[in-house]
Amino acid sequence: MAQTLARYDQFAHWYENWIGGTTPLIASCPDLLPPLPGARVLDLACGQGRMSRYLASSGAQVTGVDISAAMLGKARAAGQENITYVRADVTKAPAWWDGRPFDGCTCELALMDIDDLTGALATVAAVLRPGGWFAASIVHPCFPGNEKGLSSWPPDEGYDHEGWWISPDHNRDGARIRVGATHRKLSTLLNALLAAGLATECLAEPPATVPTFLLWRCRRS
């Protein structure tokens, strides 16, 4: 693919230091992930590989795909040789895929950074085996966030305002002031999953005074 800059390329070093060695949200919800030993799992928009490493350490055979060369450089530098990392646009037909179906797919806090939701979910559906699972986490689309600046929609707009935005007034220490975010209403998200043939199996909201994150597991029909 053309070597164009991705939004996270210039912030890869900052992001690695910011996110640190924290446990992925998906991993913090033990009922969300099926058994991983021996499973072939795709980590969609894997970034610097935090979720990929968790999957591999849990016994999965992992392929991580991301559009950012800089983030993938961080992932490869972590040194887990049993993970295959691929640079590709996850919203396009998966030319990188060898045709062997995956048992599962994860997407950790990344769908807000993908403008083409339909394309990304089409990739998930294409590479999963029938009955394969898709576990994902996002910034909660229904609430205005907290003091960390984790709102899903633009600060000067409202819940109905969908699309990409970036704000110079957002949390100075966070990601959204650097790379922006793509807000979607909950109904938009759920309808897109259904249209892709991904039936919701369970939902989770980590404990918080006001919900900050939304997680789910779907099954491919």
Tens-digit pLDDT profile for residues 47-78: 899 999 999 999 999 999 999 888 899 999 98
Identify the pLDDT of residue 88. Answer: 95
Helix (H, G, I), strand (E, B) or coil at 70: helix
Phi, psi of 7 (to 5 degrees): -60, -35
pLDDT tops 90 at residue 184 = yes
Domain boundaries, given as residue ranges, for the chain: 38-140+186-220
| CA 8/CA 13 separation, integer angstroms | 9
Identify the pLDDT of residue 203. Answer: 96
Residues 6 or more apart from 12 whose CB is under 8 A from it? 48, 68, 70, 71, 73, 74
Identify the pLDDT of residue 1. Answer: 41
| CA 61/CA 103 separation, integer angstroms | 10
Cα–Cα distance list, 48 to 3, 11, 21, 120, 179 (Å): 18, 11, 11, 19, 15
Region of 217 (left: φ > 0; alpha: ψ -120 to 50; beta: rest) is beta
pLDDT tops 50 at residue 175 = yes
- Bridge partners of 66? 87
CB atoms within 10 A of CB 30: 6
Of 132-136, 191-195, 211-215, the one with minimum mean pLDDT is: 211-215
Right CATH number for 38-140+186-220 from 3.30.530.20, 3.40.50.150, 3.90.470.20, 3.30.950.10? Answer: 3.40.50.150
In 3D, which of 111, 107, 106, 88 has the Cα closest to residue 98? 88
- Hey, which bits of the chain come out as E strands? 40-44, 61-66, 83-87, 102-108, 128-139, 163-165, 181-183, 198-204, 213-220
Q: For 120-161, how does the pLDDT look when each residue is reduced to its tens digit (9 = 90+)?
A: 999 999 999 999 999 999 989 998 655 555 667 877 788 999
